[in-house]
Amino acid sequence: MANISRVAVVTGAASGIGAATAVRLAADGNAVAVLDLPDTGYAETVEAIESAGGRAIGLAVDVTDRDGLAAAMAQVADELGTVSILVNNAGYSHDLPIQDMTFQQWDDMTSVHLDAAFCTSRAVQPGMAAQGFGRIVNISSTSALGTAGRVGYSAAKSGVIGFTKALALELGPIGVTANVVAPGFIVSRMTAKTARRLGRDFDEHQEIAANGIPVGRVGRPEDIANAVSFFAGDAAGYVSGQVLFVAGGPRG
């Protein structure tokens, strides 16, 4: 385990991409704040980091609760120090055609993916500006390019890209980079949910997906964590406002 050098926040870090990213950033030498909903198992991510010799804290927070999220970000700064790395990963999807989606479901999608990213980015900006260093990595999706039956999710994830590019332009002069990682098919609760909706066994669903992926396999959470690790490190200081599709082939 490397020496702890910076403080990172990862939202939606109880499982899947978020958990893998939190573990990877800790292995890179950062203290990590693991944020997720209550009763999601985020403590297991903290335990995994600590058992490997890293430092982490876990906070129960609903990213759609603006006041609660702002308070959680303040608590991270109090307990770990100024946040240098922010990963907005929390998300979910409704697989619904437009006629079946309610306005509340549309609003929920925007709240989780866009409002939360705005809130956390706004919270960390002063500290990053003061230290002249910051890394913001937002998780989008290949669905940002458009996916049938996912109008809300596709719109929100596309919005994440525009939000991030604007941040890169605004915050670059103060030493802060902002980039996007856009996963393709990743083995996760979300893709397992899609398999159930389609009436497929999850293994079968993965095999079908892999047949359409140039590298011949589906992605794992660690594939996304590796990309986030690059954007979060010193080596990516000249990379900002970019979208990296981690999808086993060319996208975007």
Same domain? 56 vs 93: yes
Question: How many domains is the chain partitioned into structurally?
Answer: 2
Same domain? 143 vs 195: no
Q: Is the pLDDT of residue 4 over 60?
A: no
Same domain? 20 vs 86: yes
Same domain? 208 vs 86: no
- pLDDT mean over 227-234: 97
Question: Does residue 95 fall inside a structural domain?
Answer: yes
Token reading at 113? 């993916």
Same domain? 226 vs 107: yes
Same domain? 28 vs 62: yes
Same domain? 149 vs 211: no
Q: Residue 92 has what pLDDT?
A: 87
More confident residue, 228 or 41: 228
Domain that holds residue 214: 189-218
Q: Residue 102 has what pLDDT?
A: 94
- pLDDT mean over 170-179: 98
Question: Does residue 252 fall inside a structural domain?
Answer: no
CATH (domain of 228): 3.40.50.720
Same domain? 13 vs 109: yes
pLDDT (tens digit per residue) in 56-81: 999 999 999 999 999 999 999 999 99
pLDDT (tens digit per residue) in 197-224: 778 888 888 889 899 999 999 999 999 9
pLDDT (tens digit per residue) in 26-51: 999 999 999 999 988 999 999 999 99
Same domain? 148 vs 212: no
Same domain? 145 vs 171: yes
Question: Is residue 201 helix, strand or coil?
Answer: coil
Q: Residue 252 has what pLDDT?
A: 54
Mean residue pLDDT of the chain comes to 93
Residues near 203 by beta carbon (within 8 Å), at least 6 away in sequence: none
- CA 30 remoteness from chain centre: 17
Q: Give me the active site residues, please.
A: 153
Q: Is the pLDDT of residue 148 over 90?
A: no
123, 74 contact by CB (below 8 A): yes
Same domain? 159 vs 77: yes
More confident residue, 159 or 150: 159
